[in-house]
Amino acid sequence: MTTLYISHPECLDHQTLLGHPERADRLLVVERALETEEFSNLQREAAPRGDESLALRIHPEEYVSNLFQALPHEGTVEIANDTVLSPGSWKAAMRALGACRLAVDEVVARKVDNAFCAIRPPGHHAERDKPMGFCLFNNAAIAARYAQQVHGLGRVAIFDWDVHHGNGTQDIFWADDSVLYVSTHEMPLFPGTGAPRETGEHDTIVNVPLQAGDGSAIFREALEVCVLPRIETFAPDLIIISAGFDAHWRDPLANINLTEADFSHATRAVLDIANRVSGGRVVSILEGGYDLVGLSRSVGAHVSTLMHG
Ligand SMILES: [Zn+2]
């Protein structure tokens, strides 16, 4: 299989405060993890610069222009709890959107089998008109909408295995029966949403909370019972993974005990479904993951599985 890896050095230029878990080092260790011989067949592209029109597919014009106008000339400015803008944030966010666009373009055109976007800032907490939880623009939601509006895909499924609930993606697609949003996440935990009773207006939101201390066995059972059947039944034309790796046992922000093998397992399961019902189309987009060792091992396992099945 051909897997496309997309990133850009400008994604390092979104700066957060010293000690903040969502930091540029995350992308540096991801890059390093994929330098080994095992990944020599990985196809690599620099993310093109995205533009505002991508953000506007999801976010209101006022939201986008307010963020732009809030950019500081130096230092950082806090725009939501734990969520800041630095002078390089706009460039980083635009490269992130450009990466998502390229990934969808290449996967839908079948130039590659699947793609992984190593980008920051992450996106799944960003609601339609609210930055939140380190996120500015909802990258995965924008990728889904772009695939529908530009490539004419009908249904898109987003599987969000970040350890936090993707309140933003849920908010955006709450009343949209063309996008299935399925999330596994620790609960209770930030942001507090993601109860099973939150199912959206058309029953296309699927929340599968895990409890602190849960590990491989419970996660895999949740996939088998609650996650995978829903994605397969939905028969999406594209599967997007909101790929956060903070459910790794080493992660400091949560208490789920997954290993890199669990991320391989989940990746393989998604590929299997995609091969059966989605023409094989999978686009994976980095969300969280804050322990540098856990993150690099998990991304290695994830990308290796994308490449080799
Ligand atoms: Zn997270």
Q: What digits encode the pLDDT tens for the residues 243-265?
A: 999 999 999 999 999 999 999 99
| Separation of alpha carbons 116 and 290, rounded Å | 18
Query: Which pLDDT belongs to residue 133?
Result: 98
Per-residue pLDDT at 1 exceeds 90: no
224 contacts 217 by C-beta, under 8 angstroms:
no
Query: Which pLDDT belongs to residue 246?
Result: 98
Q: What digits encode the pLDDT tens for the residues 38-61?
A: 999 999 999 999 999 999 999 999
Beta carbons within 8 Å of 183's beta carbon, 6+ residues apart: 159, 160, 161, 162, 165, 166, 169, 170, 194, 206, 207, 208, 242
Per-residue pLDDT at 307 exceeds 90: yes
Q: What digits encode the pLDDT tens for the residues 198-242?
A: 999 999 999 999 999 999 999 999 999 999 999 999 999 999 999
Catalytic positions are 125
Q: Hey, what are 211's tokens? A: 């409890």
Could you give phi then psi for residue 296, rounded to 5 degrees? -70, -40
* 245 CA → ligand 1 middle, Å: 7
| Separation of alpha carbons 168 and 42, rounded Å | 31
Domain of residue 278 covers 3-308
Query: Does residue 89 sit in helix, strand or coil?
Result: helix
Query: Which pLDDT belongs to residue 128?
Result: 98
* 31 CA → ligand 1 middle, Å: 20
* 191 CA → ligand 1 middle, Å: 10
Average pLDDT, the chain: 98
Q: What digits encode the pLDDT tens for the residues 116-134?
A: 999 999 999 999 999 999 9
Would you tell me how many other CB atoms lie within 10 Å of the CB of residue 66?
14
* 306 CA → ligand 1 middle, Å: 21
Number of domains in the chain: 1
Cα-based distances in Å from 11 to 17, 67, 176: 16, 17, 30
* 111 CA → ligand 1 middle, Å: 31
- The CATH number of the domain where 49 resides is what? 3.40.800.20
Q: What digits encode the pLDDT tens for the residues 268-306?
A: 999 999 999 999 999 999 999 999 999 999 999 999 999
Map tokens 């094989």 to a residue: 280
* 165 CA → ligand 1 middle, Å: 7
Q: What digits encode the pLDDT tens for the residues 161-187?
A: 999 999 999 999 999 999 999 999 999
* 210 CA → ligand 1 middle, Å: 13
